[in-house]
Structure 1
């Protein structure tokens, strides 16, 4: 089995562009590629999947602290492919706090036995790049660093200068490079890259990116270095039967942030999944419960507000005690109003209050929620790991259900209240991965079933 991680020396070195180019090139070469992303990212995974024609998966050792469940989230999906390609997050050793082994790309690589290829930004540097690679290669001897790629080089001569210095002062081979080309730069906004569903001409950009790296990366050498013994596959989750349940979930340009493993675990347990569109459908479909994931409701606020019949069907479902669960963008939609630069727009009105966009991230990062009363996930005191990533605030007088804490290096660095439960509807800014504890999902489905 061939598998490798593309990791950066820091954020912003271009590891996403290189990863997309590599997936594109390998796919064009006839390989079956299974992509992954370290950390709680939804947008990069959508780009991966668009190229590979396989759903990309998240590998996250904070959200999935159990190592058997983490290994399952990796091994399950590359049984019938040729190559597993993992995109790292931030810098190689950056994670939660100062511990290099806490939710970092390096932590994932070591736990899952994945060789690492390091991306170095070649702008305005030459021999100093060798010092960077030397530092990364010697910092953790348990990490398998097998190669280097140089991004944003000015020319072939510039690349040869950097390559020569790295290979003179370290024993890490330099496998290729990518030049700076504005024609393949991917636009971004406040949550990172613009989602692929919103971009025209994207496939042409990705095709060009693949053609570029195919010319400048030594794929024969790269693939020689990343051959690994296949890990033993063991399902850590008990078999459940919820085949009588239908769960409808929001899926359109405004709502599409879901962990694929969550949806697959639901299907593994027999749940029938039905997509719906708050942008385009007239009303909710018939289902036992409803799931609103995150996304960009603020970008589509005017269209969401204009779909009055759908908003009315959501409020009706809540009032008639249909179970509803919403994360982040879903919370914003279930409030009364959403305020953006373009104005104030009516939303579903389940919770009293207004979501208001701000100019900076709020409560960004990993956090832990403790419920102060029984909820769909368990009794009072249930602990839930998750991730918040939003520019909005929800201004409301509704009573919060969660005490939220951000814990770093063993210390609570901030705490706040969040999440709201009314009847059988629960909504919060927290993105939850069910692989952390199957009892959370089991309790929710039993609540839907009526136990």
Structure 2
């Protein structure tokens, strides 16, 4: 890809400063006249949905725990090659990563990998001169990170806007590219983050985020992106490929099952699988397929609709009993249990005898390091890096055989994750296909050999 591809990182001074809504608004506005490719730093599923909605093309995750630098730059080059500009939303604060002093896992690390300048979003509520102190600290902490602009969020009128802008520009020499008014209405949230675009009024989201950024100078943002460092990117397909195997894999994709890394689906496609999407919460039954991949999402919110779809849950049980491939991640794994217990108890597929019990307290939020056990018929012996984020646990604690031995993370809270029954695996882990490079080919080979 051209060495001067326009790109910019929208980072924050911390979580909760409004990065996602502001980034989506910027993407939406720029998409009116340019082809915009969106990215999210980190393992998040929901924020990229807002990018995809705003850009009208699939957003991507850039995660340095999952992927090495070469793979990140390859994914970026491949996905951006036909775009005019790339907008990368950060995670947490700009410098926050896996350790207290290092770059690993941080937005700053991705910015340096990609040679991308940074626009820093600052929560300026009740700040004027102190906003400059925030920006100055971020500027000075790492000279290798280019903070090229600032967006001040939560300004409370013209007087506040003027004072905070003058302070930042005069005391840090970094331009304020825009301000965002303090809002009374914010994007809806729940326990795993923002409410997904599958469950929202998307035209309202687009208008809301677009209106938020009306006081941002987009020509400045484009100029900052145009001045990104010269850097060559590999534009070759990053996935393992195989000849068409004529296998079909069913994938529930609706308001209950929407947490899929797009690269996982692409990996299956490039490995030769035909993907058959369906919507269990809308009453659709299992398609005629050779395997099933159940992603995560919010089955606990829509447990009543899932439980009442007998064709789906009984079909899963029969499919598993017949020894066909079923792979469930987090919410998908919960669906494989005997029931989901939330305010009420809802019958599920009963492939696993345990109940999935929803809790108020977070049970797992961590990057995961694991080794696939010898019983894991897809990835035996492989070192696995993944992510988990769940507010449920299994009751009783599951017994083996297990698919993964955990060295970092929670899993089933007993050093293991991934229950195995027949050729069904259910796990709290979300793997990324560019971390486990054989993701797609392993699924397709198993289904074609079965």
TM-score over 0.5 (shorter chain): yes
Structure 1 residue runs of 5 or longer lacking an equivalent are: 408-413
Q: Look up the match of 1:207.
A: 207
Distance 2:303 2:240 in 1: 41
Q: Look up the match of 1:353.
A: 354
Closer, same or farther in 2 for the Cα pair 1:69/1:376, shift >3 Å?
A: farther
Distance 1:212 1:402 in 2: 45
Distance 1:55 1:231 in 2: 22
Distance 2:244 2:329 in 1: 22
Q: Look up the match of 1:385.
A: 385
Give a deviation string over 1:420-449, Cα, whole Å, max 9, x none: 111111110000001013134433322222
Moved over 6 A (4+): none
What's the offset of the Cα at 1:366?
Answer: 0.5
Q: Select 1:87's aligned residue among 71, 89, 98.
A: 89
Question: Does the 8 Å contact 1:251/1:277 carry over to 2?
Answer: yes
The farther-off stretch of 16-25 and 265-274 is 265-274
Q: Find out whether 1:421 has 2:420 as its counterpart.
A: yes
Give a deviation string over 1:123-159, Cα, whole Å, max 9, x none: 0111111111111111111112111110000012211
Question: Does the 8 Å contact 1:243/1:272 carry over to 2?
Answer: no
Question: Does the 8 Å contact 2:240/2:441 carry over to 1?
Answer: no
Q: Look up the match of 1:284.
A: 286
Q: TM-score, normalised by structure 2?
A: 0.93
Question: Does the 8 Å contact 2:293/2:326 carry over to 1?
Answer: yes
Q: How does 1:331-342 map to 2 (within 5 A)?
A: 331-341=333-343
Closer, same or farther in 2 for the Cα pair 1:99/1:374, shift >3 Å?
A: farther
Q: Find out whether 1:312 has 2:311 as its counterpart.
A: no
What's the offset of the Cα at 1:265?
Answer: 2.2
Q: Look up the match of 1:76.
A: 78
Q: Select 2:31's aligned residue among 24, 27, 32.
A: 27
Q: Select 1:274's aligned residue among 273, 276, 286.
A: 276
Question: Does the 8 Å contact 1:21/1:212 carry over to 2?
Answer: yes
Q: Look up the match of 2:257.
A: 255
What's the offset of the Cα at 1:282?
Answer: 4.7
**Secondary structure at the residue paired with 2:362?**
strand
Aligned residues: CA RMSD: 1.8
Q: Find out whether 1:195 has 2:209 as its counterpart.
A: no
Q: Select 2:40's aligned residue among 37, 42, 48.
A: 37
Q: How does 1:138-177 map to 2 (within 5 A)?
A: 138-177=140-179
Structure 2 residue runs of 5 or longer lacking an equivalent are: none
**Secondary structure at the residue paired with 2:338?**
strand
**Secondary structure at the residue paired with 2:415?**
strand
**Secondary structure at the residue paired with 1:31?**
coil
Question: Does the 8 Å contact 2:240/2:438 carry over to 1?
Answer: no
What's the offset of the Cα at 1:230?
Answer: 6.0
Distance 2:275 2:203 in 1: 28
Question: Does the 8 Å contact 1:25/1:211 carry over to 2?
Answer: no
Closer, same or farther in 2 for the Cα pair 1:295/1:208, shift >3 Å?
A: closer
Q: Look up the match of 1:223.
A: 222
Q: Look up the match of 2:444.
A: 445
